[in-house]
Amino acid sequence: MSKILVTGGIGYIGSHTVVELYNAGYTPIIVDNLSNSNIKILDQIEKIIGVKPEFHQFDLCDIQQTASFIAANPDITGIIHFAASKAVGESVADPLKYYHNNFFSLINLLNAYREKEINFVFSSSCTVYGEPDILPVTESAPVKKATSPYGNTKQIAEEILEEIAGAYGNYNIIALRYFNPVGAHQSALIGELPNGVPQNLLPFITQTAIGKREKLTVFGNDYDTPDGSCIRDYIHVVDLAKAHVAAIKLLERGNPNGKYDVFNVGTGNGYSVLEAIKAFEKASGQPLKYEFGPKRDGDIIQVWGDVNKSSTELGWKAELGIDEMMASAWAWEKYIHENPLD
Ligand code: NAD
Ligand code: WQD
């Protein structure tokens, strides 16, 4: 079956996608520089699928290494490009790191396919919508000025990909706009491995529940929402991984929408922070210690996706609900607490 390059495949979403590609009969091949992941995840993937995927460790910002790798692997028919820096706060403090890493890796990959047909799936983000005027937000909603260098790299990357697709004819591209990925594989052998203090809600919740953090601070309780806390479209990372398999399949069939397309990847349901906490307490069977604190700069008040296009044209729909998201996140936290990878 087709060999699919998974850049960033040792990372959170990439590792789950490697599993789902294998399950769908594809041969995943991973490139990752391990700048934000642990090589032991490769062993964990092997425990799940029974084979160790081919892995190459190098920085995709290195022109020579990227070009040589692609030339040495002519049987790669598709690329799923996860490799990027993704911490919003860090991007504000160190924008050059983000512009360098996220653009050089993308351009090097694209340049290596000047002469060859390639199916290309890009990791984008609902962050491109900013605070949508209309909810649920559709793919045709206006892209708003990014509120962080990280978000800007996703917006500009989408523009680059649309132009490339139109200019050359050998790039078949889909950008997937993820909402909020959470949870872990049902085996609890892979999951999110945040570096240091988690910036995202779910790992902070699970680390508080396991006793690694004293308490969760809910950033704001007087937003203009039913319970005063922000609303997000949380999506199970396994559903998200399956959306990438669906995108590769669509590109292999030939996308009737043309050489560049965009899909929202969410559940279409919004949950507030307080509702997420309640769902976690139900799934874990224990109360969560939290308190209210000041609003976090740059936070969107509410965003959730219209996922009809993904259902009708991508042929993908989320299947797992908030209970499975929370239960899997908790199972992974307990596993990694008892079996630290490093
Ligand atoms: P992650 O940090 O867990 O995975 C990214 C992987 O890419 C890491 O293993 C890292 O070592 C690798 N990498 C980074 N730069 C590289 C380079 N130059 N060369 C080779 N490898 C490199 O992040 P994730 O949460 O799995 O996100 C994957 C993608 O999805 C990113 O592009 C991110 O922007 C996007 N995304 C993530 C979220 C989210 O909430 N996690 C939401 C929307 C979009
Ligand atoms: C969710 C909600 C917080 C932590 C970010 C990036 C986005 C994408 C996904 C990469 C918000 C609240 C959080 C905490 C809290 N990443 N919260 N206390 O901000 O929606 O999206 O991750 O592409 O680009 O912006 O996710 O998990 O940080 O926050 O109250 O300790 O939880 O205010 O309302 P966010 P998040």
In the reported structure, the alpha carbon of residue 291 is separated from the centroid of ligand 1 by a whole-number distance in angstroms of 30
Q: At 270, is the secondary structure helix, strand, or coil?
A: coil
- R_g of the chain, CA atoms, integer Å: 19
Residue 97 belongs to a domain: yes
How many CA within 13 A on the CB side of residue 287? 3
Q: Is residue 136 part of a domain?
A: yes
Q: Of how many residues is the chain composed?
A: 342
Residue 255 included in any domain: yes
How confident is the prediction for the chain on average, in pLDDT? 97
pLDDT in tens, 223-262: 999 999 999 999 999 999 999 999 999 999 999 999 999 9
In a domain, 169, yes or no: yes
> Residue 85 — very low, low, confident or very high, per pLDDT cuts 50/70/90?
very high
pLDDT single digits (tens) 183-200: 999 999 999 999 999 999
Element (H, E) at 176: strand 171-178
Domain CATH for 79: 3.40.50.720
Question: 135-145, pLDDT tens digit by residue?
Answer: 999 999 999 99
| d(C-alpha 15, C-alpha 17), whole Å | 5
Residue 216: is its pLDDT beyond 80?
A: yes
278 domain residue, yes or no: no
pLDDT in tens, 96-135: 999 999 999 999 999 999 989 999 999 999 999 999 999 9
In a domain, 14, yes or no: yes
Kindly indicate the confidence band of residue 81, based on its pLDDT and cuts at 50, 70 and 90.
very high
> Of the residues 232, 274, 326, which should be mutated to test ligand 2's pocket, given the most ligand atoms within 8 Å of the CB?
232
pLDDT at 1 exceeding the cut of 80:
no
Q: Which atom of ligand 1 is nearest to the CA of 34?
A: 11
Q: What is the pLDDT of residues 14-47, one digit of tens each?
A: 999 999 999 999 999 999 999 999 999 999 999 9
271's enclosing H/E stretch is: strand 271-272
- Asked if residue 330 is part of any domain, the answer here is no
HEC readout, 42-57: HHHHHHHHCCCCEEEC
Q: Could you tell me the distance, in angstroms and rounded to a whole number, from the CA of residue 200 to the centre of ligand 2?
A: 5
What was the pLDDT predicted at 342?
80
Write the residue with the smallest CA distance to atom 16 of ligand 2: 86
Whether the pLDDT of residue 295 is over 90: the answer is yes
CB atoms within 10 A of CB 323: 12
Domain count, the chain: 1
In this structure, is residue 193 part of a structural domain? Answer: no
Predicted structure pTM score: 0.98
Is the bond preceding 132 in cis, omega lying within 30 degrees of 0?
A: no
Q: Print the domain residue range for 53.
A: 3-183+233-266+308-319
Q: Find, among 162, 160, 180, 185, the residue nearest to 172 by Cα.
A: 162
* Mean local confidence (pLDDT), 59-83: 98
Determine the longest span between alpha carbons in the chain, in angstroms. Answer: 57
